[in-house]
Amino acid sequence: MEIIISFITATVIMGFLDFLWLTVIAKKLYYAEMGSLLRKKPNLPAAMGFYVIYLFGLMVLVIEPALARDSVYFAASMGATVGFVAYATYDLTNLATLKGFSPKIAFIDIAWGTILTLLTATGAVAVAGLM
């Protein structure tokens, strides 16, 4: 039951925080830095694919091991690590291969991915631990 609760919680946390980030907090910044590279409307099937795969990886690599250890500290540290590695891989690859990709956005996005994944993993483990 902990796994199901933690998965639902992770989905809600990540969905809410990333929606807020992309539609309210960072939207103007992304358009100012990379407007010509961005779609007018996101490719929703691709976005959903990302979230499903990312949450699956987060469950396997961070949340399930943290629940087994009964440790929100493990969830926080490994969540931050996975977020940093995943978002750095994406952003640094874009910097290496895409003309016009913003170094400023890369730095901010890596920081955001680290924080987002830390909060998602920690929240999921904390809530599951309360049940």
Query: What confidence tens digit (pLDDT) does each residue in 56-96 have?
Result: 999 999 999 999 999 999 999 999 999 999 999 999 999 99
Helix 103-130 and helix 27-34: axis angle, to 10°? 150
Summarize pLDDT for 88-129 with one digit per residue, the tens: 999 999 999 999 899 999 999 999 999 999 999 999 999 998
- pLDDT in the model for residue 115: 98
Lowest model confidence (mean pLDDT) among 27-36, 41-50, 82-91, 116-125: 27-36
Yes or no: say if 110 and 84 are a contact pair by the CB < 8 Å rule.
yes
Is a pLDDT exceeding 90 seen at residue 38?
no
Nearest residue to 34 via CA among 106, 120, 119: 106
- pLDDT in the model for residue 49: 97
pTM of the predicted structure, to 2 decimals: 0.94
Residue with tokens 């290496």: 96
Q: Which residues are within 8 A (CB) of 20 and not within 5 positions of it... i.e. 6 or more apart?
A: none
What band does 40 get if pLDDT is binned at 50, 70 and 90? Answer: confident
